[in-house]
Amino acid sequence: MAKQTSSKHPSKPTRSHKPARHTPKPAPTPSSTDQPVFAQPQPTPDPTSFKTPHPSDNGLYNKVNNKLLQAIPTARDGAAEPVLTLAEVYGDQGAAKTKAIQQAGQIVFHSVGDTGSVKGPSTQNEVSDKMVADFTESNAADVPSFFFHLGDVVYSFGEAKYYYDQFYEPYREYPGPIIAIPGNHDGLVYSGDTASSLDAFLRNFCAATPVNSPDAGALLRTAVTAPGVYFTFDAPFVRILGVYSNVLEDPGVISSEGGTRAGVTDVQLNFLKAALGRCKTEKYAGAVIVAVHHPPYTGGTNHMPSPNLSADIDACAQGAGFWPHAVFSGHSHNYQRYTRTENAMSIPYLVAGNGGHSPLSKLQTDANGNPVRTPYPIDDTLTLNSYDDTNYGYLRVVVNAQTMRIEYHPESDGTTTKTPDDRVTVNLATRTLVS
């Protein structure tokens, strides 16, 4: 049953932070490697402070053009539908990894956004420690195969100098690949910025080969080889169609919106049409998820919905004759789950923007100033089913040939708690929700 969670659960196990560790010296230059590397070979204690202090960004925000969108980088291969496969991400182990998932009959993965913290590593550590604990399953089929990041990896302007503290160090023990779409902060620039929009993001997530990035210091995780900021991530049982929603605080923008958005092309609309069209042509039976940083729907107090972005996704789905089974987003710093009904389909829309960035954002209250009680109907086609605006957490997704189960796990439950605080299951064939 969906429920609103509290900030702490006294009856559930708590965690204590690990002692500080010595940070390694940064590597001076990137080096090539034949194969991808994920986690460090030996566990190390959680850091208690940043290697590079993060001063206030208030002065830099004053230099931001709040109405200026950035160009969408063309995908590396120039294809209408750029594709990255799970097998490619695992390198020489890809074929064996794919075969093992298929034989197990299911795939498990993580997803959340807004992980970068500017106030210290504690909130990120809390989430990443619990995510890493998901790899200690007795049944190999339940072990996650990857983490799909929903954007805002590094605050506040995607600076390379903060990648070590905000990305590489928090996930130094995460033993799987981390694939990402950028959030607005990953591409945001200010007047006088010496780095171009998305500079560090492209180097760390869209590299041509799995190199050791200079931004990782001496940590071993290699850069991901996504073909661009929009692409299909194709894995057994699931396809994730990731798009970039640009740099504005609100709204998210993925197209020219009929020529009204200067400097932005419709390349991502063409991508979504091609990707959804291929699902239709191939009669794809797996789960299809659209991932975008800005949420189509949100009731958070710090961000607004993006109706034009939502309309763009709808137009692509209608044109292709194939709708996604779910839509994942971040940006609003909390957890929210909606159900949208469309042509007898029930489509979950998840907001998971509580991956570690502080502070969290409260949800809007009702007309009397009270917290919203779920299920809360927004209109005839949209219902808010569940939310958590007091905890950091993440999504754990389980997909097999028949269903997709999306679970929400708050870090406050502790690393040994495996029961989600919220979940929804989609029947992939009927596109209805399973009780």
Query: Running DSSP on this structure, what letter comes out for residue 166?
Result: I
Identify the band that residue 34 occupies on the pLDDT scale cut at 50, 70 and 90: confident
CA-closest candidate to residue 170, choices 213, 224, 116, 220: 116
d(CA 30, CA 255): 34
Residue range 24-47: average pLDDT? 76
Residue range 105-127: average pLDDT? 98
Identify the band that residue 83 occupies on the pLDDT scale cut at 50, 70 and 90: very high
The Cβ of residue 192 has, within 10 Å, a number of other Cβ atoms equal to 7
Sign of CA dihedral 247, 253, 256, 262: negative
Task: Tell me: pLDDT of 21 over 90.
Answer: no
Domains of the chain with bracketed CATH: 58-434 (3.60.21.10)
Q: Which of 3-17, 314-328, 341-355 has the lowest mean pLDDT?
A: 3-17
Per cent of the chain over pLDDT 70 is 92
Q: Rounded to 5, what percent of the chain is helix, strand, coil?
A: 20, 20, 55
Sheet containing 403-410, strands listed edge to edge, beginning at the edge strand earlier in sequence: 178-180, 147-149, 106-112, 393-400, 403-410, 422-427, 432-434
Tokens (6 digits) for 137: 């399953």
The Cβ of residue 365 has, within 10 Å, a number of other Cβ atoms equal to 12
- Give per-residue pLDDT as tens, 167-192: 999 999 999 999 999 999 999 999 99
Task: Tell me: pLDDT of 261 over 90.
Answer: yes
Residue range 336-360: average pLDDT? 97
Residue range 152-158: average pLDDT? 98
Identify the band that residue 32 occupies on the pLDDT scale cut at 50, 70 and 90: low
Give the HSE-up count for residue 406: Cα atoms under 13 Å, Cβ half-sphere. 30
Residue range 254-274: average pLDDT? 97
Task: Tell me: pLDDT of 406 over 70.
Answer: yes
Q: Mean pLDDT of all residues in the chain?
A: 93
The confidence score (pLDDT) of residue 435 equals 78
Give the alpha-carbon dihedral of 223, 196, 157, 391, to 10 degrees. -40
